[in-house]
Structures are given as C-alpha cells and as structure tokens.
C-alpha cells in the first residue's frame, strides 16, 4: 500500500492503522530483507530500484495466491479436474451426446475421460473409484455396491435384413422368430440381457439358434447386413444402416432396457450432483421428443 500511494500517512489511513506502526513494519521488513525499499524525505517518498523489483515480485506472488485460492475453490465445487465416465456403446446413440454437450458447456475446465468397459472391469474400477460414474444400459439385474438412477427406458427392437419377409410387418413377436438364426451379444458382455433373452425364448416354446456372437450393437448390426441372422438391439439404434436393415418393435414380450447413471454406493462428490442434474434434464427432453 505504501508503494502504491508513496505516502505513509495515506497508506496508514487506507489500511486502518496508525502511521507509526506502519513505518515500524516497513523498517522491520527492510531490516529482514537487508535492502532499503524507500527513499524518504520530509516532502516525498519514492521507491528505490530494489523496492520496485520487490514490489513487482510481491504483487506477482499475491496474484498467484489469489489464483490458487480460486483454483482450490473450483476443485472443491467440482469445476476443475477430470471426470472418468464409463459407458455402454448403446448410450452413444441416445443419452451420451446431449449429456456430454451440456456438461462441457457448464464445466469447460473439467476434463472428461470416456471408458468403454465390460461389466467385470466396470464393477472393479467403479468400486475402486478409478471410474467416477457410468452411463450404462442394464436389464433388470442390479450389481451389489452400486447406486443407480434410471434416465429412461429404451425398448428392444428386432433388427433384420431389409429384404427379410418379416420386415413387411409393423411389429414382431418373439414367437415369430422361432425358425430364425440369431446373431447375439456375447454372454460375458451382456450376461443379464443374454440370459433373459434365452429364458423368454424358452417361454415362447423354442431354443434360439445362435449362429454368431459379438460384443457390441454395431457389430451385431453389421452381421445382420451380412445376412448371418436377426438380432435384438436397443431402439435408439434404429437409425443405423437403414439402407440394409429394418427395425421392428419387439412385442409379446416387451423388453424394456434401463439406461442408468451408475456410481459407487455411498460415494459423494460435487460433480456427481451436477451430472445427475444434467442427466435428468436430458431425460426430460428425450421424453418430450
């Protein structure tokens, strides 16, 4: 303050202290550093070259402290750092893009790491907190140690070659597929969906003929275009390869697929609250579409 005002009396007034203690503190500082910061006369106060250099460095340090405080506060509010998100491939065709877009708009300083993980790896990494949150598709089964918030339900549809006779129908039941070869998810990738599909086929009176397995929806659709069989996929994928693939609602039974936000049970951090709110906003918009 003395360096800014070049007046001890004015500086003391601005600092709300008496002039004598201020002069004493400046003298102590000069003695401690071992240099003279001010040239004093009865008429004026001026900074010495050492005083100018010291003032510049002090101001730089104070600015860094202020930035450090702001940075720490942003981290505490979850506005800095990295958010590790695991995801299911199918969510890339529904909730993931709008969630990421909103998140980027609101938290431009937060990095996002996207991780494509199978169920076993996902469970391990989210329980160890290497993954912060998952945006996943789940079918009925809930894993221990995890908390869930369903964003919306995506009904499964039948994907079949466009020239297939069943493509002329507006909807297809599971029993209609009794003689069809299937391409299907690998059980280790979608165990709960795979097991439910097999059980529903048995209830419909047949055991499905699975000619090929794949790990992702995109590969399954590729196998359908190659004529290797029919499959069931989330309805969000109905816009993929429509030149060669027909998508029809699966009825009798209806098989809804939960799209959920998933995190470690009991874990709390600022960005979890924020991304849950964003997911709710996205879900509301998708419901209105």
Q: How buried is residue 33: exposed, middle or buried, by Cβ count under 10 Å (0-12/13-18/19+)?
A: exposed
Same domain, 118 and 243: no
The last residue of one of the domains, among 77, 107, 132, is 77
Q: Which of 77, 109, 131 is the last residue of a domain?
A: 77
Do 95 and 283 contact (CB within 8 A), yes or no? yes
Residue 30's domain comprises 2-77
Instruction: Give the pLDDT confidence score for residue 257 in this predicted structure.
Output: 84
- Judge if 33 and 120 occupy the same domain: no
State residue 147's pLDDT score. 93
The whole-number pLDDT of residue 16 equals: 92
CB 159 within 8 A of CB 233: yes
Answer whether the bond into residue 208 is a cis peptide, omega within 30°: no
Domain match, 40 and 87 both: no
Which pLDDT tens digit goes with each residue over 96-129?
999 999 999 999 889 899 998 877 788 889 999 9
Which pLDDT value is given to residue 65? 82
**What is the total count of domains within the chain?**
3
CA angle 125, 131, 132 (to 5 degrees): 140
- What integer pLDDT is reported at residue 220 of this predicted model? 95
Residues 166 and 247 in one domain: yes
48 and 112 both lie in a single domain: no
| Residue 141, pLDDT score | 59
| Burial category of 60 from C-beta neighbours within 10 Å (exposed 0-12, middle 13-18, buried 19 and up) | exposed
Is residue 149 helix, strand or coil? strand
At 193 the pLDDT is: 83
Enumerate residue ranges in the chain where pLDDT < 50.
none
**pLDDT score at 277:** 95
Residues 68 and 143 in one domain: no
End-of-domain residue from the set 25, 57, 77: 77
CATH code of the domain containing 278: 3.40.190.10
């Amino acid at each position: 303050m003395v360096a800014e005002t070049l007046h001890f009396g004015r500086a003391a007034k601005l600092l709300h202290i008496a002039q004598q203690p201020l002069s004493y503190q400046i003298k102590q500082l000069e003695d401690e550093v071992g240099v003279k910061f001010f040239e004093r006369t009865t008429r004026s106060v001026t900074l010495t070259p050492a005083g100018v250099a010291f003032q510049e460095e002090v101001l730089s340090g104070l600015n860094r402290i202020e930035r450090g405080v702001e940075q720490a506060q942003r981290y505490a509010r979850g506005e800095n750092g990295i958010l590790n998100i695991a995801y299911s491939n199918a969510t890339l065709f529904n909730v993931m893009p709008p969630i990421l877009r909103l998140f980027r708009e609101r938290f431009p300083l937060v990095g996002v790491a996207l991780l494509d993980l199978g169920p076993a790896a996902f469970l391990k990494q989210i329980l160890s907190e290497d993954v912060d949150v998952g945006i996943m598709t789940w079918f009925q089964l809930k894993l221990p140690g995890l908390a869930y918030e369903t964003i919306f339900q995506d009904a499964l549809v039948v994907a079949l070659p466009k020239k297939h006779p069943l493509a002329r129908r507006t909807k297809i039941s599971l029993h209609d597929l009794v003689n069809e070869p299937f391409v299907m998810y690998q059980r280790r990738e979608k165990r709960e969906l795979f097991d439910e599909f097999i059980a529903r086929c048995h209830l419909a009176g047949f055991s499905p003929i699975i000619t090929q397995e794949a790990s992702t929806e995109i590969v399954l659709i590729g196998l359908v275009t190659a004529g290797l069989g029919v499959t069931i996929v989330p309805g969000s994928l109905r816009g993929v390869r429509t030149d060669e693939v027909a998508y029809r609602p699966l009825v009798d039974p209806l098989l809804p697929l939960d799209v959920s936000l998933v995190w470690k049970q009991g874990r709390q951090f600022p960005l979890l609250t924020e991304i849950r709110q964003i997911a709710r906003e996205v879900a509301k918009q998708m419901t209105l579409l």
